C-alpha cells in the first residue's frame, strides 16, 4: 500500500467514525490533521507556510503588531478576535487565509512521502481553524489533482526537490509579474520551491507551479551538478603543502668501553693493584705474585 493510499484510508476512517482529535502523518514533510466530528478544521505541516505567514505577507499587519496581539490574547497562536477588533483584517479575509493555508498544507503532505499515521487526542485548540470543516476525502482528492496537474507540466518539479537558479537570459523586467521578480531574486541554487514559498510568504503550491512555468519559459534553470565551493589560498599563493615523512630512527650507538691503561715502568704488583681498582679482583694479583710453571 502506497503512502497516499494509507493516508486516504485513515482519513476516510476518521470521517466515517466522526473522529475528533489529531491525525499525525509521519513522513517528509508530514503534518497534523485536526478533526472535529469527522471534518478537517485545520492542517499543520512544516512543508507549507502557516496562516500567520500568509497574513503578514499581505502587508496588513507587521511583525511588531502581530506580537502585540499575541501577548494581548494570552499567547494564542491565531488571535483572530484581536485582528478584527484592531482593524487589521476582516472576518471574511481571515476565513480565506485559513482555508488557503489548510489546503496548501494538505498539498504539501500529499506531495511528500507518507510513512504512517497515528491518531491521538487533541493537544489544544486547532490553530487557525476554518469555520466549517472540510470532508477529508474531498481534501485529498483536490490535493491529488493539484499534484497531477503539476507533474504534467513540460518541466515538472516537486516542492522539495529541484533547486533552480536564474537563467542567463536577457528579458524585460517590466514584463515580469511580482511573484516572478521575487522568485528570481531568491532563487540561488540552494532553495527548493518550498524554501522559496517561505521566503516570499506565498503558498507552496502557488510557488511550485510558478517555478515550473518559469522553467518552461527559460527564466529559471536547474543545474545538475552542485556549484563548486571556492577555496581561498594563502597570501603567498602556495597551496597546502603535503606533510613530509619523518626521517627513520637510527639505532643507538653503543657506548665505548674504557680499558685499563698500563703505565710505563709499572711492576706486576702495581699492575695488579691497578687491575683490582678496575674491578678484576684478587685472583689476578696472586697469579702475578706466585707464577706457576706450565
**Residue 57: predicted pLDDT:** 84
Contact 48, 203 (CB under 8 A): yes
pLDDT tens sequence for the chain (294 residues): 688 899 999 999 999 999 999 999 999 999 999 999 999 999 999 999 999 998 888 788 888 999 999 999 898 889 999 999 999 989 999 999 999 999 999 999 999 999 999 999 998 889 899 988 999 999 999 999 999 999 999 999 999 999 999 987 666 566 888 999 999 999 999 999 999 999 999 999 999 999 999 999 999 998 764 444 454 545 554 545 556 666 666 666 655 555 555 555 554 445 444 444 444 454 554 555 555 554
Tell which residue, 77, 114, 103, 104, has the closest CA to residue 197: 104
DSSP 160: T
Q: What are the backbone dihedrals phi and psi of residue 221, each rounded to the nearest 5 degrees, phi first? A: -150, 155
Question: How confident is the model at residue 289, as a pLDDT?
Answer: 53
For residues 84 and 75, the answer to whether their CB atoms sit within 8 Å is no
Can you give the pTM of this predicted structure?
0.73
Q: Which residues contact 154 (CB under 8 A, 6 or more apart)?
A: 212, 215, 216
Q: At residue 48, what are phi and psi to the nearest 5 degrees?
A: -145, 145
Count of positions (residues) in the chain: 294
Amino acid at each position: 500500500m502506497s503512502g497516499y493510499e494509507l493516508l486516504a484510508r485513515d482519513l476516510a476512517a476518521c470521517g466515517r467514525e466522526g473522529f475528533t482529535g489529531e491525525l499525525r502523518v509521519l513522513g517528509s514533510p508530514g503534518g497534523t490533521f485536526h478533526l472535529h466530528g469527522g471534518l478537517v478544521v485545520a492542517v499543520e505541516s512544516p512543508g507549507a507556510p502557516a496562516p500567520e505567514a500568509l497574513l503578514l505577507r499581505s502587508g496588513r499587519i507587521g511583525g511588531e503588531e502581530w506580537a502585540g496581539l499575541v501577548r494581548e490574547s494570552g499567547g494564542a497562536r491565531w488571535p483572530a478576535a484581536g485582528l478584527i477588533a484592531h482593524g487589521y483584517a476582516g472576518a471574511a479575509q481571515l476565513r480565506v487565509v485559513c482555508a488557503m493555508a489548510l489546503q496548501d498544507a494538505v498539498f504539501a503532505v500529499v506531495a511528500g512521502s507518507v510513512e504512517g499515521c497515528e491518531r491521538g487526542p487533541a493537544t489544544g485548540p486547532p490553530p487557525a481553524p476554518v469555520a466549517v470543516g472540510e470532508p477529508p476525502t474531498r481534501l485529498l482528492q483536490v490535493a491529488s489533482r493539484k499534484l497531477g496537474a503539476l507533474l504534467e507540466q513540460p518541466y515538472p518539479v516537486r516542492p522539495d526537490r529541484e533547486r533552480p537558479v536564474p537563467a542567463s537570459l536577457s528579458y524585460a523586467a517590466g514584463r515580469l509579474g511580482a511573484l516572478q521578480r521575487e522568485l528570481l531574486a531568491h532563487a540561488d541554487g540552494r532553495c527548493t520551491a518550498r524554501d522559496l514559498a517561505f521566503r516570499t510568504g506565498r503558498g507552496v503550491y502557488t510557488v511550485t507551479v510558478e517555478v515550473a512555468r518559469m522553467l518552461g519559459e527559460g527564466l529559471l534553470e536547474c543545474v545538475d551538478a552542485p556549484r563548486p565551493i571556492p577555496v581561498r589560498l594563502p597570501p603567498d599563493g602556495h597551496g597546502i603543502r603535503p606533510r613530509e615523512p619523518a626521517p627513520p630512527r637510527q639505532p643507538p650507538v653503543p657506548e665505548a668501553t674504557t680499558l685499563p691503561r698500563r703505565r710505563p715502568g709499572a711492576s706486576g704488583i702495581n699492575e695488579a693493584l691497578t687491575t683490582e681498582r678496575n674491578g678484576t679482583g684478587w685472583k689476578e694479583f696472586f697469579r702475578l705474585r706466585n707464577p706457576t710453571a706450565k
